[in-house]
Amino acid sequence: MSVIPFPTPNELGSKLQSLASRALSASNITAPTGITDSVVATNYMVGLGVLLTPQVTGSVDITISGNVSNTTGSDGAQLQIAYGTGTAPAKNAAVAGTLVGSIFTDSTSGTTVLPFVCRAVLTGLTLGQTIWIDLAQQALVGGAVVFGVNICVVANEF
């Protein structure tokens, strides 16, 4: 039978502080504005400019949510998280980095604004090395992908 150690009351504070220090906040967040420049059904980057540096485990849980639509009726959008090192991609740059996690696809929203959520878990990241996080996007048939102002990026090291 294995014994599960439980911290004594005088150790509890330091244990909680250690856990709290594992929370990783994203820095340098820039919300995209007016992303309606694409008029073809090719992949390109949103240009979020989110940077973070893993400090403890090298494992990061990422969730990006917001509102999305297309400028063409009966068309839709596809979104997926991308990450990499070096300079973060600019808005409407070619797809860069590594695509990871869930793929949001809606093929019928057209001009209707819909909520989206993309999620990914990264493991094995190098401690102390800054990564960028962005979204790769694609208008499925034509038109342009349009984002609302409510884009939220949450990235936590665990």
Look at residues 63, 139, 154 and name the one whose alpha carbon lies nearest to residue 100: 63
State residue 106's pLDDT score.
80
Rg (CA), the chain: 19
Check residue 36 and give its pLDDT.
46
- Residue percentage of the chain with pLDDT more than 70: 66
pLDDT of 37 above 70: no
Say yes or no: domain 25-157 is CATH 2.40.50. Answer: no
Helices and strands: H and E segment counts in the chain: 1, 9
pLDDT (average), residues 95-104: 93
Mean pLDDT value of segment 19-47? 53
What's the pLDDT score for residue 28? 39
- The candidate with the shortest Cα–Cα distance to 95, out of 133, 50, 137, is 137
- How high is the pLDDT of residue 26? 45
Comparing 16 with 111, which gets the higher pLDDT? 111
Confidence grade of residue 27 (pLDDT, cut at 50, 70, 90): very low
pTM across the whole model: 0.75
Beta-carbon count within 10 A of 113 CB: 14
Q: Which residues are CB-neighbours of 31 under 8 A, at least 6 positions away?
A: 48, 149, 151
Q: Give strand ranges (E) for 98-148.
A: 98-106, 114-122, 131-139, 145-147
